[in-house]
Structure formats: C-alpha cells, structure tokens
C-alpha cells in the first residue's frame, strides 16, 4: 500500500494546504490572488468528502487570508493565518492578545522599512499582524533588491534581534511571534481529531510543517526546492489532480 493509499483510508483526514503558490498562482499584487480553477474544484470535492476536513495554513494575516480565499462566515474550511498565530474555526476565531509594546515597535519598524523601500522601484512593505513583509518580487534591479534586503535585515537586527525572519518567494517576512506552520498543523490536528494529515506547500516557510509530519501523514511539495515531503508535484494543476484523487478515494472508502 502506498503512502497515498494509506492516508486516504484513515478514519478522519485533515487536508492542510498553503495558499499562495500551492492553490493560487504567485501574483505581483498579493491581494489579487485567488485559487486556480482546478484547485478550487479539488478543494470543493475534499470539503464534500466524508470524514475529511480542509484547512488553509498561510503566512498571510488572517484578515487578508479570508479575502483571497473568499472565505465566508458559513464556510467549513478552517483558517490558520500568520503561520499559525491566528485561527478562524467554524463558529469562532482565535488570536493572541497583542502587547502594546510589541505593536508600537512593529509600527515604528514598519514605517522605517517603508522609508528604506521608498527609493527601490517595485518594492513595497506589506503590513502584517505580527510584523511586516518586504516584497521584492517586482524589483527588476537585483542589486537594489539585495541592498534593501540587507538594510532591512540590519534594521531588524538592531531594533528587534528577537524577531523571526522568514525568506519566501520574492518576500522577506519579519515577525515578533516565533510560531510556525508546524504548530498550526499540530493545533488543527488536535481540534479536528485527525488520524492522519495531508499537508501541501511550495515554499521554505512550509518546510516547518512538512518536517513535523508523522509516518501516518503525507507531505507534498509543489514545485522545486529541497524538501522533507515524501511526494513532489510539478505545479498547482498536478496538486489539484492528486487532491481530487484523494477526495474520490475518501468517498469510495465510505460507501
């Protein structure tokens, strides 16, 4: 029996999915991101499958994740934003209380980062609940992008050396919370009582979750790059095909 066959036969399955680059193509304007049609169809099939729970686990702030996921109040899909520091579960939401000192420092540093980015065409700063992100995807001059990355690194190292730094596709994130997607998957597993988890992601920030999976779980890496995942797919469409297979097998197993 393959890993995929085994996980599709588990009693209660949690399918936890990164969003950007996994369900949605990477875009230059982050708030325009939406699920690719094939991914949307696969997610819809999984939601309808018996004893199967779907969650989106993203580095996006929870509010932004709700918008790009087109998540409604009656949606059965669970959300984990800010790498697992914020949650939206059916009937409830969860976010830690923010220390005013942390938010004051966040706002000052975000403003300084915006000043650093002002002279770098294509760069911009994304406000996040627990910090900020420096977007470099649309910076055409590699030297300017590297200078901005280095100067922002120096700013954070000087003012907030305890903050966590994450490097993603065309973005560097800084945050005063150290929570990772491994903690998000563990929390969601407990909430739903999952007997196995499928987690899929496309970026370095997803590797925390992929490394945390157990032998009963299945990790999927979308695209290239070093990974702890046991399965690799080439792109969103290939992932959608695999997830659709999982949905069909879940339905068949419960008939």
pTM: 0.89
Chosen domain end from 130, 157, 175? 175
Mean local confidence (pLDDT), 65-92: 91
What is the model's pLDDT at position 91?
Answer: 62
Q: What percent of the chain has pLDDT over 70?
A: 97
Whether residues 126 and 222 share a domain: the answer is no
- pLDDT confidence of 97, banded at 50, 70, 90? confident
Task: Give the integer Cα–Cα distance in Å for 97 and 91.
Answer: 19
Whether residues 18 and 68 share a domain: the answer is yes
Task: Give the integer Cα–Cα distance in Å for 229 and 199.
Answer: 9
Chosen domain end from 156, 175, 194? 175
What is the model's pLDDT at position 253?
Answer: 85
What is the model's pLDDT at position 94?
Answer: 57
φ, ψ of residue 19 to 5 degrees: the values are: -105, -65
Task: Give the integer Cα–Cα distance in Å for 195 and 153.
Answer: 41
Q: Which pair of structure tokens corresponds to residue 91? A: 């009937």
Whether residues 68 and 9 share a domain: the answer is yes
- 3-state class of 218 per DSSP? strand
Catalytically annotated residue among 3, 18, 153, 235: 18
Domain range holding 46? 3-95+179-253
When the pLDDT of each residue in the chain is averaged and rounded to a whole number, the result is 93
Q: What is the pLDDT of residues 205-252, one digit of tens each?
A: 999 999 999 999 999 999 999 999 999 999 999 999 999 999 999 999
What is the model's pLDDT at position 90?
Answer: 74
Whether residues 116 and 40 share a domain: the answer is no
- Known catalytic residue at 18: yes
Task: Detail the DSSP E strand segments found in 69-191.
Answer: 78-81, 86-89, 92-94, 124-128, 131-135, 164-168, 171-175
Whether residues 11 and 84 share a domain: the answer is yes
What is the model's pLDDT at position 2?
Answer: 61
Q: What is the pLDDT of residues 3-39, one digit of tens each?
A: 888 899 999 999 999 999 999 999 988 899 999 999 9
What is the model's pLDDT at position 95?
Answer: 59
């Amino acid at each position: 029996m393959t890993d995929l066959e085994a996980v599709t036969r588990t009693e209660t399955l949690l399918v936890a999915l990164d969003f950007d680059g996994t369900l949605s193509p990477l875009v230059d304007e982050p708030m325009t991101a939406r699920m690719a049609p094939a991914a949307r169809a696969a997610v819809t099939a999984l939601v309808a499958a018996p004893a199967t729970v779907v969650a989106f686990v993203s580095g996006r702030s929870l509010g932004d994740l709700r918008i790009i996921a087109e998540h409604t109040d009656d949606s059965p899909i669970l959300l984990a934003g800010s790498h697992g520091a914020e949650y939206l579960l059916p009937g409830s939401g969860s976010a830690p209380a923010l220390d005013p000192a942390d938010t004051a420092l966040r706002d000052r540093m975000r403003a300084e980062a915006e000043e650093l980015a002002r002279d770098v065409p294509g760069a911009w700063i994304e406000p996040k609940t627990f910090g900020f992100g420096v977007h470099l995807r649309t910076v055409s001059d590699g030297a300017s992008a590297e200078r901005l990355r280095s100067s922002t690194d120096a700013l954070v190292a000087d003012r907030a050396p305890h903050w966590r730094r994450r490097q993603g596709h065309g973005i560097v994130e800084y945050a005063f919370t150290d929570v990772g997607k491994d903690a998000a998957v563990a929390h969601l597993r407990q909430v739903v009582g999952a007997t196995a988890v499928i987690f899929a992601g496309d970026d370095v920030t997803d590797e925390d979750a992929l490394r945390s999976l157990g032998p009963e779980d299945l990790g999927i890496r979308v695209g290239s790059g070093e990974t702890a995942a046991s399965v690799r797919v080439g792109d969103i469409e290939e992932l959608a095909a695999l997830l659709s297979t999982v949905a069909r097998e879940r339905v068949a197993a419960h008939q």
